[in-house]
Chain A
Amino acid sequence: MNIQVLYGTETGNAEMLAEDIAAELEADHEVTATNLSDFDPGEFDRGTLYLLVCSTYGDGELPASAQPFAEKMEAEAPDLTGVHFGIFGMGDSEYEETFNGGPATLAELMIARGATQLGERIAHDASGAEMAEDLAFPWAEEIVGMAGDALGQAA
């Protein structure tokens, strides 16, 4: 399966996790990890599974590297019908009210353009005891399993 891990990062934590997910999946799949700041919404491809990894910054906002992407999504309003994605959020529950605001915004942007979200939006808590990858690897495997059916390819 073609998988592209797209990350929105501010401190680099989401970037590191995205690269780890890509490394975890690359034995069985064609995987790349790309910063959302280097990705154009026009590049979305229906034959590729997108795994979005996104943090939250400031007051529940998108992280810096996802902001140009969000602006382009608004401006270009691409039709993403038939595009499949899963989304993994990274947040910090110290900031209760806006915990995981960034990934929520990103998921809404995708769905508003017709893309299909696979699975639940997972939220890792930086102030919690669990390592992000311990949540993210099983999540990625699960989404890839679901995408196998959705994309009509062998997972």
Chain B
Amino acid sequence: MTGQIAIIGAGPSGCFLAQALLKARPELRVDLIDRLPVPYGLVRYGVAADHQGTKAVTRQFARLFERQGARFFGNVGVGSEVTLDDLRGAYDAVVLAAGLSADRALGIPGGDLPGVHGAGKLTRALYEHPEAEALPKLGTHPLIVGNGNVAIDLLRLLAKSPEELDGSDLGAGPTEWLAGSGIEEITITGRSPAAAAKFDTVMIKELAKLTGVTIRVIGAGESDDPEAQKKLAALTALEGGDGPRRITFRFGMTPLAVEGTSGVEAVRFATDTGDETLPCTSVLTAIGFDTPGDLPRDALLKDETEGKLAAGLYATGWFRRGPRGTIPDNRADAKALADRILNDLAPDPDKPGATILQALDTLTDYDGWCRIDRAETANPPPGRCRAKITTREDMLTLARQEDMP
């Protein structure tokens, strides 16, 4: 008996874990379960549409299903179609790799005014997640709170001209929305000084390629640290340009309140030199992510050590470590956890494994995803590498079209 492992979430962390497990023990039964009929989670719906090079990691994941024997169980909600306890009863080990998809709230007065949008929510709408809300109106002057890589991704997308999105997989609707956004100015604010900003230098350098913008960097400050100096140099190098869209970087700004009566009008910040109010037409928060609440994360992680939560129950990726770290950081995590799981694994031949999933009539599989993938990539519009299927219904129809060539 070789052992059966269920991984909840077929995003990058789950896929990297499956890869590490199957590399170490090719005979293992590794099943990836996702609530969507499509795999790859964050790579599909979080990685920016104009970062196709980053998305190339899915070629590794495809191999996982095509050559390494992993199986995909799509359209299965844990907590709805099956429970976590069902899975724990059926598998020798269960791993939570569901990520963190909810936006962390601002938690300040006015933080729930109309016109305040979380980066995750907006990103899902931009990248056509089937459960996304409609793209909102941002007005002429959105203000971004946060300066991690998620914030920079949003800034770049909002600042790009239509031609600069060539080669991406941004959908027709979002493309039209961006082209007609009417954005004149974007302010991006961070709590920390620029030297301690969370973005990666390379993300800042990428902004230097934008053609339609004029960039101002206010209060970047100085640093003795060589890494921070690189950051500051990249920021300073951005200044200038002659494009119509104005971008302003601000640092050392702690938001105190979103102001407005029926919608966003301004954000008041605490700064080293006293309060400052910046007018804006919408607020985009990119200050981290949280659990959407479908799994009781806090209770589950209560006794967590090095990814183990309880006998036969583990967690990896953002679900375990919080919303920090890039895709490769989570790969390293997954590799370490694979060793731990294999060390603990005591296969029970009486466990039914995937039998409990195969009984679900809602289920989709990897072949179904391949049919969706082919439909999306067969005939993309000019300047696009993919046209995503955007509704669950259409995904399911395609996924279930058996015997398609």
Given contacts A59-B202, A94-B51, contact A11 B63 (CB under 8 A): no
Q: What chain B residues lie within 8 Å of A16 (beta carbons)?
A: 59-60, 63
With A and B bound together, what is the CA distance between A134 and B147 in angstroms? Answer: 38
Q: Contact mask A6-17 → B, CB, 8 Å, 1/0?
A: 000011110010
Residues of chain A from 93 to 119 with CB closer than 8 A to chain B in the complex: 93-98
B206–A95 touching, CB < 8 Å = yes
Q: B108 at interface (Cβ–Cβ under 8 A)?
A: no
Q: B367 at interface (Cβ–Cβ under 8 A)?
A: no
Contact of A126 among B56, B202, B209 (CB under 8 A): B56
Q: What chain A residues lie within 8 Å of B57 (beta carbons)?
A: 11-13
Most chain A CB neighbours (cut-off 10 Å) among B54, B167, B202, B327 = B202
Determine the residue in chain B with the shortest Cβ distance to A94: B53
Whole-angstrom distance between the Cβ of B15 and the nearest chain A Cβ? 10
Contact of B205 among A10, A11, A12, A59 (CB under 8 A): A59
A13–B56 touching, CB < 8 Å = yes
Q: A79 at interface (Cβ–Cβ under 8 A)?
A: no
Most chain A CB neighbours (cut-off 10 Å) among B16, B56, B59 = B56
Q: What chain A residues lie within 8 Å of B230 (beta carbons)?
A: 59
Considering only CB atoms and an 8 Å cut-off, how many residues of chain A contact the other chain?
A: 20
A96–B60 touching, CB < 8 Å = no
Q: B136 at interface (Cβ–Cβ under 8 A)?
A: no
A59–B200 touching, CB < 8 Å = yes
Contact of A11 among B200, B206, B331 (CB under 8 A): B331
A127–B52 touching, CB < 8 Å = yes
Q: B373 at interface (Cβ–Cβ under 8 A)?
A: no
B209–A12 touching, CB < 8 Å = no
Q: What chain B residues lie within 8 Å of A93 (beta carbons)?
A: 53
Contact of B206 among A10, A12, A94 (CB under 8 A): A94
B53–A126 touching, CB < 8 Å = yes
Q: B328 at interface (Cβ–Cβ under 8 A)?
A: yes
Q: Contact mask B207-222 → A, CB, 8 Å, 1/0?
A: 0110000000000000
A64–B332 touching, CB < 8 Å = yes
Residues of chain B from 24 to 74 with CB closer than 8 A to chain A in the complex: 50-54, 56-57, 59-60, 63
Given contacts A11-B327, A12-B331, A16-B60, contact A59 B53 (CB under 8 A): no
Chain A residues close to B by CB (< 8 Å): 10-13, 16, 57-60, 64, 92-98, 125-127
Can you identify 27 A-B contacts, CB atoms within 8 angstroms? A10-B331, A11-B327, A11-B328, A11-B331, A12-B57, A13-B56, A13-B60, A16-B59, A16-B60, A16-B63, A58-B200, A58-B201, A58-B202, A59-B200, A59-B201, A59-B230, A60-B202, A64-B328, A92-B53, A93-B53, A95-B202, A95-B205, A96-B209, A126-B53, A126-B54, A126-B56, A127-B52
5 more CB-based (< 8 A) A-B contacts, given A12-B328, A98-B205:
A57-B328, A97-B205, A98-B202, A125-B53, A127-B53
